[in-house]
Structure 1
Amino acid sequence: MTDSAVTARLPRGRHGLPRETVVRAQRDRILLAMAEAMAENGYVGTPVASIIKRAGVSRETFYEQFRSKEDCFEAAYERAVELLLTGLLEVTGNAPDDESPQQRIARVLTAYLDGLAAHPAFARLFLVEVYAAGNEAITRRTTLQDTFVAIVADILGAETESQRFACQTLVAALSAMVTARIATDDIDGLRELREPLLNMIGRSGDLFGSPEPPGR
């Protein structure tokens, strides 16, 4: 599902939809508009007026939902996190009993890259614009990266301090590479990271954790 499919406009005229449905649809449109506007103009260069115009809502509607642009950004950031984590949790929670660490890390990496590629505007918000939104947003981003490190370390069987540090370094390198590709709208290059990364992990021996024979 792409960003454009995350939300849709309500039908024109009298639609008879419940109030909560209308409010939720308006909120979704505003969050997507926030992400798309920042993808074009950056956090600093995106005024509330641009978000309102792109979302097709009134200023009154915007301020019924959000106190400020900063408040809207925080909500859009949480939506970006939700979109990304949903795919990762599905992968980590439904692993076959006989799946090897190499196969599992392949599925997790694929879910991560595909999630970013499917939602480029939210991915840019999550990876790039977060650094313009203040210390609180950056702290949240760092916490989520630590969560991803824990997932990778668990899959690869990291037991020692040096193995956990290697997993931390791997995730930091991956974050830098995907951020560069999202920042330049290189979606194909984003997906092309998968095979080289998996090959590197497969050749790493016990660098990241317990060695496993390659295979996926």
Structure 2
Amino acid sequence: MSDPAAISRQLPRGRHGLPRETVIASQRDRILSAMAQAMTENGYIGTSVAAIIKRAGVSRETFYEQFRSKEDCFEAAYERAAHLLQERIVEATGTLPDAATREQRIEAMLGAYLGGLAADPADARLFLIEVYAVGPEAIARRGELQESFAVMVAQILDAHTAEQHFACQTLVAAISAMVTARVAADDPDGLQALREPLLQLLRRSGDLFGSPEQITPH
């Protein structure tokens, strides 16, 4: 997710011989990271383009070469944060053996999701909280991503019926509400602490969310 240190890693001044696409990608990455970091202090409404470019170490001209507006920049930062979090989950679950149990799959997914949010508070705040200040399109996009997460959970829990899919949607909505509260309180330990109670809930759920495969404590 966002890397505060990357903001300060500017390209060498003068004739560095780097391809233009490398320069543009570096500038874009610094701008997106700078936006996430700036919003931890002043929120979306209180974060100006001037504050973003100062933190990113780029010119106003460079900013507007890449983004139409502050909202456009936020949308790009949001998509990057979502992509990196999804990549983390896919990597964690994709390395499991084919014979992995449902508990192993859900443990890997929850660990990657909660761990990713705790490891990057700036992107977590952007992803879960500041999005509500941007406008209806950003909020709608958040809803789409939450639904894609519900689909992933339904697959892991082997949901087949409409009732089980709805239960998975409800589970994801509850997790979203709980993690948002902890991100707002700047409580990374509280985020990580959600993992075991959620697993205990699934152990007691029977076939509520999907296949009644026995989930047992380690």
Please indicate the TM-score interval, normalised by the length of the shorter structure: over 0.9
Q: Does 1:62 align with 2:63?
A: yes
Change over 3 Å in CA distance of 1:180–1:210 after alignment to 2? same
The CA distance in 2 between the partners of 1:98 and 1:159, in whole Å, is: 20
1:142 Cα deviation (Å)? 0.5
Contact 1:33 1:54 in 2 (8 A): yes
Query: What is the rounded CA distance, in whole Å, between the counterparts of 2:198 and 2:12 in structure 1?
Result: 45
Give RMSD over aligned pairs.
1.6
After superposition, the C-alpha distances for 1:108-132 in whole angstroms (9 at most, x for unaligned) are 1111111112222111111101111
Q: Secondary structure at the match of 1:182?
A: helix
Distance 2:68 2:2 in 1: 28
Q: TM-score, normalised by structure 2?
A: 0.93
- Which amino acid is the alignment partner of residue 132 of structure 2? Y
Matched, 1:72 2:73: yes
Displacement of 1:89 in angstroms is: 1.8
> Is the aligned partner of 1:139 residue 2:147?
no
CA drift of 1:10 comes to 1.9
User: Percent of counterpart pairs with the same letter?
Assistant: 69
Q: Which runs of 5+ in 1 are unaligned?
A: none
Q: Following TM superposition, by how much is the alpha carbon of 1:162 offset from its aligned partner in structure 2, in angstroms?
A: 2.1
1:43-192 equivalence runs, <5 A:
43-192=44-193
C-alpha change, 1:128 and 1:49, in structure 2 (3 Å) is: same
Letter of the structure 1 residue corresponding to residue 27 of structure 2 = Q
Give, in angstroms, the shift of residue 153 of structure 1. Answer: 1.0
Equivalent residues of 1:3, 1:118 under 8 A apart = no
Q: How far apart, in 1, do the equivalents of 2:111 and 2:146 lie?
A: 17
Per-residue deviation at 1:11? 3.1
Paired residue secondary structure (2:45): coil
Task: Tell me whether 1:3 sits opposite 2:3 in the alignment.
Answer: yes
- Structure 1-normalised TM-score? 0.94
SS in 1 for 2:46: coil
Give the whole-Å Cα distance in 2 for the aligned partners of 1:115 and 1:150.
Answer: 19
CA displacement 1:50-80 (0-9 Å, x = unmatched): 1111111111111111111111111111111
Equivalent residue letter for 1:211? P
Total equivalences in the alignment: 216
Letter in 2 for 1:108: M
Displacement after TM superposition at 1:165 (Å): 1.6
Is the Cα–Cα contact under 8 Å of residues 2 and 120 in structure 2 kept in the other structure?
yes
Residues of 1 paired with 2:190 and 2:14: CA distance?
43
The question of whether the paired residues in 2 share the 8 Å contact of 1:202 and 1:213 is answered with: yes
Aligned mates of 1:153, 1:105 — CA distance in 2: 10
CA distance in 2, matches of 1:68, 1:2: 20
**Unaligned ranges ≥5, structure 2:** none
Residue 94 of structure 1: CA displacement? 3.3
